[in-house]
Amino acid sequence: MSEAAPEIERPEPVRPGPDRDDEAEHEFGVSSEFVNGVREKLEDGRIGEVEAAVSDLHAADLADLVEQIGPDHRGALIDILRPGFDAEIFAYLSPSLRDVVVDQLEPRELAAAVAELESDDAVDLIQDLDADQQREILENLPPETRALVEEGLTFPEYSAGRLMSRDLVSVPQFWTVGKTLDYLRTETDNLPEDFYDIFIVDPMHRVVGAVPLSRIMRQKRSVKVGDILTEDIRTVSATTDQEEVAFLFRQYGLVSAPVVDGAGRLLGVITVDDVVDVIDEEAEDDLLKLSGVPDTDIYRAVLDTTRSRFSWLFVNLLTAILASAVIAVFEGTIERIVALAVLMPIVASMGGNAGTQTLTVTVRALAMRELSEANALRVVAKEALVGTINGALFAVIIGLVAGLWFADPLLGIVIGSAMIINLFVAGLCGTLIPLGLARLKIDPAVASAVFLTTVTDVIGFFAFLGLAALILL
């Protein structure tokens, strides 16, 4: 068994980090050079060249172009895209620019474009418009499309019902593979463009299973689909939250899943491309909420953005004033030892940062379902311990620095002790706050950071200045 040990030769690991955002090296998508080129052509009035440049672009790339071209050239670009406007572009546009483009198109143009969309994309677009715009578009849609879209809008926002497409392939279980293939060959006009599973339904149109296309293709024509179906498939209720849908696809590596009503009847299908969008949205959501930003739309108007950021900053101002009130309690102490004023931001800042580390891990673990009641206690204890150990390490460092700086060993002991206390509190609150909020059914991402920094500021200043008043005076 012991031959020459195999040499595992391979290049040094290349981390994507360093050059991940260098546009010039992106292989796919529109480049800055391309955008600048279109801009120049628009400025020179070379309309035909712009038409040629954009004619082969995927809707997603067109949307990027509309976004990046800037407000001065956007109107002219949209006018060029206007004849037979591809409504799929909307699916990829930032919300604020979606409104801009919608406003520029006539209701009839818009309705004609929307009529070309699959029902889920049409619902996705229309749900965000205001009531007047919705009405105008719906009035101009063909009756069947309109009925599907209106039905889609009856499902709760962020539900599987809004995500699903009504275009799917379902056959009864007594059909053979051959009959199914023949059906697909004759019904080509009524089939969705892309599908990955054929759903098998009973006479009441309830889902009894699914056959992936890759399986049906391997079977002889005489085989019954009922004999090759996967029975144990995961169906999604139309009212299921989209986050739950994302979990389902991620957990089990699905490419499509059937959506059913309360009685188990097949309503529609959700495909993985829609779920990828949801995954992006949810990840973004956590990131933004932890930083107190309501959205990532870099195309929103200045005043809208200012207003949307104001409220988080206002809450932060209140907590900062609270921290100042704590400092004010020790005004007399600071007056006598001004070194305290110099050093006091350090303890609070370290607590805030250590707490944010813990908080981020906890919020992410909650979102990814890694943290549950089954292991919560263990994680809290671990984070408190991590905080205490790091607190002790930094106590030694800052204790030496402060003691030498102000030639006062006692001052070093004071700041070191405060550091241990605050980093222990940071570890404890960095887990307990999000877990507590989740328990109270409040989204932990949105409120945890404010609570946490309030605690680490207040405890940081109070421990440092309080210990100083006790020990140094």
Please give the residues from 368 up to 387 whose contact with its own copies meets the rule CB under 8 A: 368-375, 378-379, 382, 385-386
Whole-angstrom Cα distance, residue 281 to residue 366? 16
Query: Could you give the 3-state DSSP secondary structure of residue 259?
Result: strand
Please report, as a single letter, which amino acid is at residue 66.
Answer: V
Pairing state of beta strands 236-237 and 256-260? parallel
- 210 DSSP β-pair partners: 199, 230
The residues, ordered by sequence, that sit 6+ positions from 235 with a Cβ below 8 Å of its Cβ are: 207, 257, 258, 259, 260, 264
Query: Could you give the 3-state DSSP secondary structure of residue 268?
Result: strand
Q: Give Rg (Cα) of the chain.
A: 30
Binder among 47, 52, 276, 404 for its own copies (CB under 8 A): 276
Q: Which of residues 17-76 bind its own copies (CB under 8 A)?
A: 17-23, 26-29, 31-32, 35-36, 39, 58, 60-61, 64, 67-70
Binder among 119, 242, 417, 448 for its own copies (CB under 8 A): 242
Tell the smallest beta-carbon distance from residue 325 to its own copies (Å).
Answer: 8
Binder among 253, 262, 263, 473 for its own copies (CB under 8 A): 253
Which one of the spans 42-50, 98-106, 258-266, 321-329 is the region binding its own copies (CB under 8 A)?
321-329
Q: Is 265 in the site for its own copies (CB under 8 A)?
A: no
Tell the smallest beta-carbon distance from residue 281 to its own copies (Å).
Answer: 10
Which residue, 206 or 364, is less far from its own copies as judged by CB? 364
Which one of the spans 43-51, 110-118, 261-269, 277-285 is the region binding its own copies (CB under 8 A)?
277-285
Tokens of 448: 């945890």
- 197 DSSP β-pair partners: 212
Give residue for tokens 């699903």. 164
Tokens of 408: 């006062």
Query: Could you give the 3-state DSSP secondary structure of residue 221?
Result: coil
- Closest Cα partner for 402 from 342, 459, 456, 351? 342
Alpha-helical (H) ranges within 154-271 are 160-163, 177-186, 213-216, 225-228, 242-252
Cβ count near 194 (within 10 Å):
12
Tell the smallest beta-carbon distance from residue 15 to its own copies (Å).
Answer: 7
Q: Which of residues 100-139 bind its own copies (CB under 8 A)?
A: 131, 134-135, 138-139
Query: Could you give the 3-state DSSP secondary structure of residue 224?
Result: strand
Tell the smallest beta-carbon distance from residue 112 to its own copies (Å).
Answer: 15
Tell the smallest beta-carbon distance from residue 346 to its own copies (Å).
Answer: 4
Helix axes 119-126, 107-115, angle to 10 degrees: 150
Query: Could you give the 3-state DSSP secondary structure of residue 159?
Result: strand
Whole-angstrom Cα distance, residue 138 to residue 411? 72
DSSP classification of residue 232: S
Q: Is 413 in the site for its own copies (CB under 8 A)?
A: no
Which residue, 154 or 407, is less far from its own copies as judged by CB? 154
Tell the smallest beta-carbon distance from residue 470 to its own copies (Å).
Answer: 19
Binder among 89, 323, 429, 432 for its own copies (CB under 8 A): 323
Tell the smallest beta-carbon distance from residue 17 to its own copies (Å).
Answer: 4
Q: Is 213 in the site for its own copies (CB under 8 A)?
A: yes
CB-based contact 219:242 (threshold 8 Å)? no
Binder among 86, 349, 408, 413 for its own copies (CB under 8 A): 349
Q: How many residues touch its own copies (CB under 8 A)?
A: 173
Q: Is 11 in the site for its own copies (CB under 8 A)?
A: yes
- Closest Cα partner for 450 from 436, 468, 433? 433
Binder among 101, 114, 125, 290 for its own copies (CB under 8 A): 290
Which one of the spans 76-84, 109-117, 260-268, 366-374 is the region binding its own copies (CB under 8 A)?
366-374
Which one of the spans 13-21, 42-50, 78-86, 200-208 is the region binding its own copies (CB under 8 A)?
13-21
Q: Which of residues 163-202 bind its own copies (CB under 8 A)?
A: 181, 184-185, 188, 191-196
Binder among 53, 94, 167, 228 for its own copies (CB under 8 A): 94
Which residue, 266 or 456, is less far from its own copies as judged by CB? 456
Q: Is 313 in the site for its own copies (CB under 8 A)?
A: yes
Which residue, 119 or 159, is less far from its own copies as judged by CB? 159
CB-based contact 199:169 (threshold 8 Å)? yes
Tokens of 348: 């609070």
